[in-house]
Amino acid sequence: MEPSKLNDYIEPGCTAGYGKYNVGPAKSCNMLLVGRSQTGKSTLVKTLLDPQLGTTKTGFSDTREPELYTLLLTNKETHEICHLNIIDTPGLKEVREDGDSRTDSELLKLATKCVQENITTLNVVCFVSRAGETHLQDTEVFEEVKKCLGDKYARISMMLLTHCDDYKDSRLDQFEDTIKSHPKSKKYYDYCQLGLYRYGAIDLTKLEPYDQETASMIVMSKLKRNEVMREKFLSKILSCTDTVLKVEELQGVYDTAQIERDRVIAEAMQLSHYIQDTGSSKKVSCVIQ
Ligand SMILES: Nc1nc2c(ncn2[C@@H]2O[C@H](COP(=O)(O)OP(=O)(O)OP(=O)(O)O)[C@@H](O)[C@H]2O)c(=O)[nH]1
Ligand SMILES: [Mg+2]
């Protein structure tokens, strides 16, 4: 039966039946944040929630494990609502000494988090880079993630330049032109088919040299500029709710790791039987190492 309004039976303005809850349709968007350490991934999540939140520099890599944040994004004009799930990841190239193994283990942690949190689809992969510092390490991170996800994710990928509050628009245009044309970054720019977006947050430590009045003027002017960038970015996110890709690749990474884990356990069990049978512990020490 078609649902129909009970208008003929209810007085205008009557709210009976609703109680204290309103239920309406909502879109959803799963976004994965990736990028070198200290590019501003976690700050992005914090300042999306509260743009008036100031940040402070620690200089150290902060995020240790992938984190899932569930935010509610509402367009105040259209009343459109979107559940925005953001997976914040640790900087993939935080330590380089052990070659690629760290990246592999970070990707595994990421895959595990997605599988455990039931994030089985993605709408946006956001490659985060600091404005004016899109250099070698960024491109290495982009390459690892691109290799893991494959070409089909190009259509849901975007590049996000953070720290844009520190530069004039003309300088940011210059940075963008370099990213577009430089042989090292061009292929990642081209891969990010959703385009390049800008973002800014306010670093409190940079206000310290100024008196209260000057600092206040700087803050107000930055907040206005940041608002424009935030709006463009969020409007793009809202337009990405219809394109969804299954995260089979991350499930694949996770499954391979599980198989490998089972294999190691099975091998260790066999060896423990071997020790019981022969009384030798020589071979086991190799495995434990
Ligand atoms: N001015 C300014 N500073 C920012 C911005 N985003 C981040 N920062 C500063 O940069 C530092 C690093 O930011 P985080 O958000 O912790 O970076 P991250 O990418 O999460 O780092 P990891 O967790 O180590 O991967 C912070 O101390 C912030 O103060 C920005 O848009 N503008
Ligand atoms: Mg972080």
Q: What is the DSSP string of 236-273?
A: HHHTTSS--EE-HHHHHHHHHHHHHHHHHHHHHHHHHH
- Mention every residue, 6+ apart, whose C-beta is less than 8 A from residue 136: 184
Answer whether 40 contacts ligand 1 (Cβ < 6 A). Answer: yes
Cα 177 to Cα 173: distance, rounded to the nearest angstrom: 6
Ligand 1 atom nearest to CA at 43: 15
Pocket test for ligand 1, best of 36, 55, 206 (most atoms within 8 A of CB): 55
* pLDDT tens across the length of the chain (289 residues): 566 788 889 999 999 999 999 898 999 999 999 888 889 999 999 999 999 998 887 666 677 778 889 999 999 999 999 999 999 888 766 544 444 455 666 677 777 777 777 788 899 999 999 998 877 678 888 888 888 778 888 999 999 999 999 999 999 999 999 999 998 889 899 999 999 999 999 999 999 999 999 999 999 999 999 999 999 999 999 999 988 888 777 666 667 767 777 777 787 777 777 666 766 544 444 343 3
Cβ(65)–Cβ(42) under 8 Å?
no
Residue of minimum CA distance from atom 26 in ligand 1: 57
Cα 84 to Cα 33: distance, rounded to the nearest angstrom: 12
Answer whether 66 contacts ligand 1 (Cβ < 6 A). Answer: no
What pLDDT score does 86 carry? Answer: 94
| Ligand 2: centre distance to CA 91 (Å) | 7
Residue with tokens 């109680």: 19
pTM value? 0.82
Ligand 1 atom nearest to CA at 60: 24
Class of domain 24-246: alpha beta
Answer whether 55 contacts ligand 1 (Cβ < 6 A). Answer: yes
Residue with tokens 């800014």: 200
For the chain, what are the domain ranges?
24-246, 257-288
Answer whether 218 contacts ligand 1 (Cβ < 6 A). Answer: no
Ligand 1 atom nearest to CA at 36: 25
Answer whether 58 contacts ligand 1 (Cβ < 6 A). Answer: yes
Residue with tokens 């530069």: 167
Ligand 1 atom nearest to CA at 35: 19
